[in-house]
Structure 1
């Protein structure tokens, strides 16, 4: 459960995971997309807004930050990469 105002997320853990402003915005966007694959360009536009260099690796860097904070050790990542297409959030059942 994401709490955007507090920039915290809980994934069945007793302690919340604290996110940066941008990490929280990225996770919120991926949640709002309902598990659909979103391209790097869509993510840049919706999370960062006007980006001067669309070739920048901002998306990849912040996806990595979220994976390190959210993924349990040894488990599949909650944020899946679809090569050549983009990223999507997989919500565990």
Structure 2
């Protein structure tokens, strides 16, 4: 049964691109999301570059979608993966 899973690298690349298109800095995003540190955003950028596997929480993606004028479908990139679902 095919199941859609999030492609972390492509999703973070979308987020990075949208942030840059809006002229925002990682520090701006940190303030908007009320995060303790800008490191979270830099981790997303690293994931976008293929180094890491960190994506924002669903709550933060919803806020980002709103401030970036994007839909969740635009931000999230998914891959179809085949899983064998075993019934108990």
TM range (shorter): 0.3 to 0.5
Larger radius of gyration: 2
The structure that is helix-richer by fraction is 2
TM-score, length-scaled by structure 2: 0.35
Q: Name which structure has the greater RCO, CA cutoff 8 Å, separation 6+.
A: 2
